Amino acid sequence: MLVTPKSTLFFAKNEAGGKGFNLYLMSQAGLPVPEWVVFGKRYFHEFLQSADVKVRLEGILDRLLRQELTPALAEKEVLSLFESTPLPATVESSLEEALHSLGSDKVFSVRSSAADEDSLSHSFAGQLSSYLYVSGKADILKYIRQCWASAFSERGLVYRLENKIDLKKISVSVVLQRMIDPDKSGVLFTCDPVAKKTDTFVVSSVYGVGEGLVSGALDADSFWLDAKSGKMLREELVEKKEMMKKSASGHCEMKPVSADKVNTASLNSEEMNGLYRLGQKIQEQYHRPQDIEWAVESGKIYILQTRPVTSLDQDLIGYPNLWDNSNIIESYGGLTSPLSFSFALRNYKAVYVQFCEVLGVPNDIIKDMDSYLSYMLGSLNGRVYYNLFNWYKLVGVLPGFKQNREFMETMMGVSEALSDEIANRIKPHPSWDTPVGRLRKAITGFNFIKYHFTIQTVVDDFLTTFHKDYDRFRAMPLKRMRGDQLIRVYMDVERNMLGRWKAPIINDFLCMVHFGLLRKLTTTWLKELDSTIQNDLLAGEGGLESAEPTKALLRLAAKANQNEGLRKLIEETDPKEGLEALNQSQYTEFYKLVLDYLDRFGFRCMSEMKLEEIDLLTDPSYLFVCLKNYLKSGQVEAHDDTHEKNLRQQAEAKVAGHLTGIKQKIYFWVLKHARKAVKNRENTRFARTRIYGIARTIFQTIGEDLASLGALENSRDIFWLTIEEVFGIYNGTLPSFDLKAFVELRKKDYARFTEETDPRVMTRGAVYWNNTFIKEEDLSQVSSETGDWDLKGLPCCPGVLEGVVKVIINPSDNLDLNGEILVTARTDPGWVPLYPSISGLLVERGSLLSHSAIVAREMGIPAIVSIPGLTKKLKTGMRVRIDAKAGTIKILSE
């Protein structure tokens, strides 16, 4: 079947092969392509059926596969077979039809085009034959036969064998295209393939036929154009004394270039603009940088061929996504299970939809924002990341996008500047730029300001309602329910608790704005004062609900410290046996106090935002580890915050002495609201932790139900499923339901993931292929040039001390502490019970608003966060000196 520019997409794609299909696409796009037809692969297969060619061909290939023939000998035998076999009559009649359409007096190129199924996923570039300046029916028929034979060339056969491509499924089409006799020709790249940049087009140009450029026989003029405007950036001209042109015999030969053209640009401005416009159009057609062959004949530009540029790094191609875990690593440190990730992804969307609703964003706009509200998070190599582009777009619902963007970066601990390309891609929803949109944004801004004045009442009402709901769900016999019942309970939790999350999320944004504004005013108005004065101003606030479990634990330790026998029991018993040892002991009253603690705070654990972590209700050993640490270190009294309150008062006095008039009033007004927002943020986040505790119990129990059915090997395998898959088990929406296979597949994937992670990752196109998630961290420049310090981070709570380091990364590490300086990658509220047993805190990741920073300020623990290379450079047992006011660490001994 002849394939022409008017053929349907179906036939062009299935009959024409790679080159032919590309000609079809260019013709359909209206590009100036020399006239062409394709002899589809059906002609090739018809030829194979004639005179037992197929049987004899398969015999040759079988001998090749048995290694009785070399690829070179196989090529010779195939060529001999093809040359000795007459062509089907349909080939000759179709050629007559084609010549009638194209012009029998024209000169043509005859090119092979791979058309077997594997040709779409493998490159056969340079392995199939092309013949130029062919004229006359007899020669065209000869070269069609040779194009078919070239599919079995030595090089092609070796390539197919190496890539395990079935030799008996080879198909080849033939392109017949009018040859033009160009005045000039060359190549246009819609990128700079040498500099690996996509903001520049590069044009190379010679006189005559482009074969002189492709073969390297001729030097070419080069031009660099701005990809956005087409403006000439620079040019490099060469002497062009010769060119390739068609000779009288129909072949190419070298001819001299006229003297007036030797040292002048081979392209004029009109041709350059024409090429630029065509390059833009072709790139839009193919959606990736292209390598375009072109020619100019009698003033008209023709496009001969285009192919994707393969030399570019993957990180220059495709729509970008920017991932950052600077802040969320506090909640989801280390590898995070599919269930925890999907649970978080679902809830983040629900919460930020509520944020838009409470600000008065219309429902139709919220629905249109689904493309980013549904994807606020990502999972890379088992790690949870923020999708920063989508967060920036969300912030755009409020007035003052640029300023709010900076405040968000401060809250998240994001410090790297955005490139121009990224900044252009994070513009808010386009509806905000319309007159109605600007009015709507003003309304959302007014609603946001309104909450500024009412937020405390709103948060208090939220917490009151929350605790009523929480007590109701906590009283349910969750561990005795069936899986289908628990799914309904979870939906109730999602609707009545997570579905009423407007107060926490509004407060989070108020916290972002007030804290960001406080930081901005501090760096602008208080330059002469200590750069860490903001930390002192935020210390001593008190009233953090997340600190209450630790205070209650200290009260238990104080009580145990009063009884030598009880103290000895706790200190000498393995923490894993602690609860049962108490149960079997004479200390009945203390045992009841411990049970009461577990009833109130049994949802706690380290890494408590991850559902797969084991909480105190399941394994109370962490409680006894902490009690043992307190008793051993003598820390059995709640922290006296006098020191923090003094720091706060001194800092306030410094500010009052430095600022006067309206500036002083503004600063203290912002400070008051920043303190309130930070405190409310911690307390509402603790409410979130309680919900996660209920969810953990629900899903653990569902896992037990599925294990009893034989659907899972063991109950904890449920954490390898996504939340949608768990729902599908009971709602009948799983297309396949071999849960054990799912689990084994994901365990195998996670086994490949490492503990290494990069805080910021840029990906292009398909996220999980050809993108680098982990970069080598350069620690060579970490130390100061003077040697005064070896590591430096962000100071959180002041204090200078020397001590021994204890590195703890995971809950499974040794948690015994006795006044050491705790070194870790990140912390969350579940780490707070360790704080009374330490003298200082060093955290690799985090920000001034991270939980470790806030609680350390409240407990007066010298603390530094965001320390690059911390856990690689410091090891347990090292002695260091930390200056938590300057944010520096000096290693004293290994």
Q: Is residue 649 part of a domain?
A: no
DSSP track, 140-194:
HHHHHHHHHHHTT-HHHHHHHHHTT--GGG--EEEEEEEPP--SEEEEEESSBTT
Domain carrying residue 117: 2-178
Predicted confidence (pLDDT) at residue 12 exceeds the cutoff of 80:
no
Same structural domain, 331 and 305:
no
Residues 743-779 have pLDDT tens digits of 999 999 999 887 666 778 888 888 888 777 766 555 4
Residues 199-223 have pLDDT tens digits of 899 999 999 888 767 666 778 899 9
Are residues 803 and 820 in contact, defined by beta-carbon separation less than 8 angstroms? yes
DSSP track, 711-767:
SSSSGGGGGGS-HHHHHHHHHT--S---HHHHHHHHHHHHHH--S---SEEEEESST
Residues 138-169 have pLDDT tens digits of 999 999 999 988 888 888 888 888 878 788 88
Verdict on whether the full-model pTM lies above 0.75: no
pLDDT of residue 779: 47
Q: Give the end of a domain, one of 153, 178, 203.
A: 178
pLDDT of residue 455: 87
Q: Is residue 488 part of a domain?
A: yes
Predicted confidence (pLDDT) at residue 401 exceeds the cutoff of 70:
no
Question: CATH number of the domain that 280 lies in?
Answer: 3.30.470.20
Phi, then psi, of 255 in degrees rounded to 5: -135, 155
Q: For residues 865 and 826, what is the distance between their CA atoms, to the nearest angstrom?
A: 9
pLDDT of residue 586: 92
Same structural domain, 386 and 283:
no
pLDDT of residue 765: 82
Q: Is residue 487 part of a domain?
A: yes
What is the number of structural domains in the chain?
5
Question: CATH number of the domain that 878 lies in?
Answer: 3.50.30.10
Q: Is residue 56 part of a domain?
A: yes
CA-wise closest residue to 848 among 536, 625, 632: 536
Predicted confidence (pLDDT) at residue 360 exceeds the cutoff of 80:
yes
- Give percent above pLDDT 70 in the chain: 89
Residues 48, 49, 52, 54: is their CA dihedral positive or negative? positive
Same structural domain, 699 and 846:
no
Look over the chain and give the mean of its residue pLDDT values, rounded to a whole number: 85
Same structural domain, 357 and 438:
yes
Q: For residues 83 and 810, what is the distance between their CA atoms, to the nearest angstrom?
A: 72
Pick 276 or 156 by higher pLDDT: 276
Strand partners for 222: 204, 236
Q: Is residue 11 part of a domain?
A: yes
Predicted confidence (pLDDT) at residue 854 exceeds the cutoff of 80:
no
CA-wise closest residue to 206 among 191, 218, 189, 223: 218
Same structural domain, 689 and 606:
no
Same structural domain, 344 and 294:
no
Q: Give the end of a domain, one of 286, 312, 338.
A: 312
Q: For residues 415 and 324, what is the distance between their CA atoms, to the nearest angstrom?
A: 11
Are residues 107 and 135 in contact, defined by beta-carbon separation less than 8 angstroms? yes
Same structural domain, 35 and 163:
yes
Q: For residues 544 and 683, what is the distance between their CA atoms, to the nearest angstrom?
A: 6
Q: Which residues contact 206 (CB under 8 A, 6 or more apart)?
A: 184, 185, 186, 212, 213, 218, 219, 220, 221, 240, 243, 244, 266
Look at 168-177, 253-262, 770-779 and tell me which has the smallest mean pLDDT: 770-779
Q: Give the HSE-up count for residue 306: Cα atoms under 13 Å, Cβ half-sphere.
A: 30
Q: For residues 349 and 355, what is the distance between their CA atoms, to the nearest angstrom?
A: 10
Q: For residues 657 and 683, what is the distance between their CA atoms, to the nearest angstrom?
A: 33
Q: What number of helices (H) and strands (E) belong to the chain?
A: 31, 25
Residues 124-139 have pLDDT tens digits of 444 577 888 888 899 9
Q: Is residue 809 part of a domain?
A: yes
Q: Crossing angle for the helix pair 53-65 and 71-83, nearest 10 degrees?
A: 170
Are residues 192 and 311 in contact, defined by beta-carbon separation less than 8 angstroms? no
Q: For residues 437 and 399, what is the distance between their CA atoms, to the nearest angstrom?
A: 11
Same structural domain, 784 and 745:
no
Q: Is residue 249 part of a domain?
A: yes
Are residues 859 and 839 in contact, defined by beta-carbon separation less than 8 angstroms? no
Are residues 282 and 306 in contact, defined by beta-carbon separation less than 8 angstroms? yes
Same structural domain, 855 and 838:
yes
How far, rounded to the nearest angstrom, does the alpha carbon of residue 329 sit from its chain's CA centroid?
A: 14
| Stretch 344-352: mean pLDDT | 92
| Stretch 166-187: mean pLDDT | 88
Token pair recorded at residue 576: 């894993």
How far apart, in Å, are the Cα atoms of 541 and each of 554, 642, 682, 777? 20, 11, 12, 37
Which pLDDT band holds residue 122 (cuts at 50, 70, 90)? very low
Residues 672-697 have pLDDT tens digits of 988 888 888 888 888 888 899 999 99
Predicted confidence (pLDDT) at residue 192 exceeds the cutoff of 90:
no
Residues 222-245 have pLDDT tens digits of 999 999 899 999 999 988 888 888
Which pLDDT band holds residue 344 (cuts at 50, 70, 90)? very high
Which of the 8 DSSP states describes residue 86? Answer: P
CA-wise closest residue to 57 among 133, 167, 178: 167
How many C-beta atoms surround the C-beta of residue 760 within 10 A? 16
Q: Which of 98-112, 399-413, 768-782 has the highest mean pLDDT?
A: 98-112
Q: Give the end of a domain, one of 178, 197, 222.
A: 178
CA-wise closest residue to 775 among 750, 758, 759: 758
pLDDT of residue 701: 96
Same structural domain, 218 and 308:
yes
Question: CATH number of the domain that 80 lies in?
Answer: 3.30.1490.20
Strand partners for 112: 174
Long-range contact pairs involving 614-619 (C-beta distance under 8 Å, separation at least 24):
615/693, 615/696, 617/693, 617/697, 618/700, 619/576
| Stretch 567-582: mean pLDDT | 92
Are residues 147 and 89 in contact, defined by beta-carbon separation less than 8 angstroms? no
Pick 9 or 455 by higher pLDDT: 455
Q: Is residue 769 part of a domain?
A: no
Burial profile 835-860: b = 16 or more Cβ within 10 angstroms, e = fewer: bbbbbbbbbbbbbbbbbbbbbbbbbb
Token pair recorded at residue 394: 């969300």
Long-range contact pairs involving 236-243 (C-beta distance under 8 Å, separation at least 24):
237/263, 237/264, 237/265, 239/263, 240/206, 240/207, 240/266, 242/212, 242/218, 243/206, 243/207, 243/208, 243/209, 243/212, 243/218
Pick 249 or 158 by higher pLDDT: 158
Are residues 398 and 392 in contact, defined by beta-carbon separation less than 8 angstroms? no
N-to-C CA span, the chain: 78
